[in-house]
């Protein structure tokens, strides 16, 4: 009888612990997804499928899933397409996602370890959602949002149905993400403590991610499990040299949230650069807990503060002011516009083609046009984008002009050269002559 009482006490205690964990870890969206999945697969009617998705999954969504859907712009059509086209994948991850409760204690333990090195830790909730392959983890305000369809995978997951556009996901699955779930959660939890998670430059975003990555290793007392870190340590100088040329760019695509289709054949290498900056800063600091606090609470949007922090880490050989000067002096410029000079007030209204010549070889994957200061009424509309020249040093557009009218068109900094360096936004401002 005494043994039975003890066993009952242990069971009740374990249930109590799980209940406490569930206060901070929300998994209801996983259960709702599989109910929805089964019902969708029970019908061939597309209208019924959409109705089921709406009523059984989206309408019952936790606040975390609602935030994830908004943050990653998931649509019902994307969910239905994924459910219809990847059955082998979904069946191969089903049990992994349904076993999420077995990780609750490890995740809670990791968060408590984080609080030991950062006592000012503010509470946040962890939501295990299921999305459509755009995020393994992100944050919105005080919510950690885990994309379970990505984070709860390993190398046994079936990916044969995936198109080439999901190659980045295949690369990620190969790293056995589910084995590193506590680390991912602590990394994302740190983002909820930072004053911003979106930087206004590559350098800012790199430090945001790097601080979360390095502080997570401190909290858990383990090495980062992400392959970018070990790869970066073996290729540090070449990575540092390439990164230093782009660090002041507003574009992240060569360094963050990309795939392995780049010159290093390794995705997300900004994580390594940011990790190394944070590590250097921490190791050079005398007060370690104060260093953690300063890293997490840094105003990443303040360029002066950010540069001070990075300079103090001494990660780069020169002060950032020198790199910033080099960046600005190396930006591509618009050499000329044909068949008229920019600012011309006697442009022939019969002109149908405009060519812009650049000082550098441009990356033909990127371009961007915007209104000028006079707005939509005076915009020089691009009737057709005629493309880049063979040498990629010029671009042509087709236009339609009216007599005696002022036109403006801004070439945005989405135009960039093959090193990823963007142009300064450039205003085309012309006036056509009368007939």
How is domain 334-431 classified at the architecture level of CATH? Answer: Sandwich (2.60)
pLDDT value for 6: 44
pLDDT tens track for 323-335: 999 999 999 999 9
Q: Identify which has the larger pLDDT, 16 or 390.
A: 390
Distance between alpha carbon 8 and the CA centroid of its chain, in Å?
47
Domains of the chain, by residue range, sit at 22-193, 195-330, 334-431
> Is the pLDDT score of 8 beyond 90?
no
pLDDT tens track for 277-316: 999 999 999 999 999 999 999 999 999 999 999 999 999 9
pTM of the entire predicted model = 0.87
Q: Which of 151, 138, 153 is nearest to 64 (CA)?
A: 138
Rounded CA-CA distance 212/202 in Å is 16
Rounded CA-CA distance 389/30 in Å is 50
**Mean pLDDT (whole number) for 197-216:** 95
> Is the pLDDT score of 19 beyond 80?
no
Q: Which of 83, 99, 89 is nearest to 157 (CA)?
A: 89
> Is the pLDDT score of 11 beyond 90?
no
pLDDT over 90 for what percent of the chain?
A: 88
**Mean pLDDT (whole number) for 402-421:** 96
DSSP string covering 156-208: TS--TT--GGGHHHHHHHTT-GGGGHHHHHHHHHHHTTSS-SS-SSHHHHHHH
pLDDT value for 7: 44
With the CA atoms of 146, 149, 151 and 155 taken in that order, what torsion angle do they form, in degrees rounded to the nearest 10?
A: 180
Compute the chain's Rg from CA coordinates: 26
């Amino acid at each position: 009888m005494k043994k039975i009482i003890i066993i009952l006490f242990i069971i009740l205690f374990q249930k109590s612990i799980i209940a406490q964990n569930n206060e901070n870890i929300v998994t209801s969206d996983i259960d709702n997804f599989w109910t929805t999945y089964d019902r969708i697969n029970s019908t061939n009617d597309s209208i019924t499928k959409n109705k089921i998705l709406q009523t059984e999954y989206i309408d019952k969504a936790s606040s975390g899933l609602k935030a994830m859907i908004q943050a990653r712009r998931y649509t019902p059509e994307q969910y239905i397409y994924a459910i219809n086209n990847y059955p082998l994948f979904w069946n191969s991850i089903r049990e992994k996602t349904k076993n999420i409760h077995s990780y609750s204690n490890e995740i809670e333990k990791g968060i408590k370890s984080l609080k030991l090195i950062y006592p000012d830790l503010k509470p946040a909730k962890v939501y295990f959602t299921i999305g459509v392959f755009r995020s393994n983890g992100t944050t919105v305000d005080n919510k950690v949002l885990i994309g379970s369809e990505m984070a709860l995978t390993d190398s046994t997951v079936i990916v044969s149905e995936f198109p080439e556009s999901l190659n980045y996901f295949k690369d990620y699955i190969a790293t056995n993400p589910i084995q590193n779930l506590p680390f991912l959660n602590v990394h994302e939890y740190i983002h909820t403590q930072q004053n911003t998670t979106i930087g206004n430059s590559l350098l800012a975003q790199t430090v945001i991610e790097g601080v979360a990555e390095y502080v997570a290793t401190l909290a858990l007392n383990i090495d980062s499990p992400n392959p970018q870190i070990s790869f970066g340590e073996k290729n540090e100088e070449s990575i540092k040299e390439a990164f230093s040329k782009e660090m002041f760019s507003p574009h992240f695509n060569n360094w963050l949230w990309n795939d392995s289709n780049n010159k290093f054949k390794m995705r997300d290498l900004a994580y390594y650069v940011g990790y190394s900056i944070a590590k250097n800063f921490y190791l050079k600091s005398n007060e370690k807990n104060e260093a953690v606090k300063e890293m997490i609470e840094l105003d990443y949007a303040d360029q002066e503060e950010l540069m001070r922090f990075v300079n103090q880490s001494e990660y780069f050989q020169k002060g950032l002011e020198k790199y910033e000067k080099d960046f600005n002096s190396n930006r591509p410029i618009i050499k000329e516009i044909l068949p008229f000079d920019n600012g011309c007030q006697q442009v022939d209204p019969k002109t149908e083609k405009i060519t812009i010549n650049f000082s550098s070889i441009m990356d033909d994957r990127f371009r961007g046009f915007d209104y000028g200061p006079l707005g939509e009424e005076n915009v020089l509309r691009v009737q057709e984008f005629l493309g880049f020249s063979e040498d990629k040093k010029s671009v042509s557009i087709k236009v339609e002009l009216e007599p005696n009218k002022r036109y403006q068109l801004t070439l945005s900094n989405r135009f960039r050269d093959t090193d990823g360096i963007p142009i300064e936004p450039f205003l085309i401002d012309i006036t056509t002559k009368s007939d």
